[in-house]
Amino acid sequence: MSFPFQSAIFALDPERAHHLGLRALSAWGALGCPPARALPHLPIRVAGIDFAHPIGLAAGLDKDAIAIRGLFGLGFASVEVGTLTPKPQPGNPRPRLFRLTEDRAIINRMGFNNGGLEAGVARAAAAKRPAGGVLGINVGANKDATDRIADYVAGVRAAAPVADYVTINVSSPNTPGLRDLQQGAALAELLAACRAARGTTPLFLKVAPDLDHAMIDGVARAAIDAGVDAVVMGNTTISRPALESPDRDQVGGLSGAPLRLLARARLADLRRATGGVIPLIAAGGIDSGAEAYARIRAGASLVQVYSALIYEGPGLPRRIVADLGECLRRDGFGSVAEAVGAG
């Protein structure tokens, strides 16, 4: 499905197009955003937070929290900004973002490029949000950090007073060694330290879809033991299904439509491993109400969208919410919560 101006946007370098889009959303938000068209009210409560509906924006699009109001104006119930690191960092050398148009996918090796925790949190604190809009802040470690757990603790401590929830992101493949924090004693130490730093703000953990079954079991045990409030499954994948685009062999994390089956399967694995004790959030390859519904039935309480916006356009969040409502009514569910894990 194309949308107005898609061909003009796709004629631009992907990273330039990304920044122009963010600036447009920021300007739209500064103007106040037109009144939002009524959406189906599909409320769900997760980690003590009330969400107007389950559809949220994943971290990575608005790394520096510059377009929060405009992103809510697209119809998201929640917006997660970041990843923010304690110190500003430029990320990896360009080019580092590639459209795989034939596959409706993206490969990126951005490397947590952002302007730093202090500036990002200040913008998040100043941002105007619609009533009931849920703001998440995603935090990570600097590439050159000598103590990565200390970086996460700094991020959680700074973000917690501002955010409705804070996500600790150990799932990116583009910071060398970061994914090592997803397992064993390192994960347990990280979660304990971040839990102590978060105060009363809910703490979410974001993990990769490339985990094997044993690693998923370990994540589940560690998250339960640490009292994590929700787990996000997942991020981009370093695996490569069959792809058609000329850029299919670029190094980095793959997102978009080809990630769908892997992300859905790992979500089901994590639901099994946690036994439904911890709320799950699905990310990766979600581009329709039907797919959002499939993830909810597989165990997700919330779903997050990102790459599909590039191919489906800014009307996507509203379409997903409307179609999700139809799916729930068709199958006789009186609420989103009733459908979680039902499939």
Answer yes or no: 172 catalytic.
yes
Name the DSSP class of 139.
Answer: E
Q: What are phi and psi of 283, to 5 degrees?
A: -145, 150
Answer whether 326's CB lies under 8 Å from 289's CB.
yes
Which of these, 235, 237, 236, 229, lies nearest to 301 by C-alpha position?
A: 229
Given 26, 78, 171, 172, the catalytic residue? 172
On whether the CB atoms of residues 224 and 277 are closer than 8 A, the answer is yes
313 in helix, strand or coil? coil
Q: Where are the beta strands (DSSP E) in the chain?
A: 44-46, 49-51, 55-57, 78-84, 97-100, 105-108, 134-139, 165-169, 203-207, 230-233, 253-256, 280-283, 300-305
Using CA atoms in the order 171, 172, 175, 178, what is the torsion angle rounded to 10 degrees? Answer: 0
Pairwise CA distance, residues 232 & 209, whole Å:
10
Catalytic residues: 172
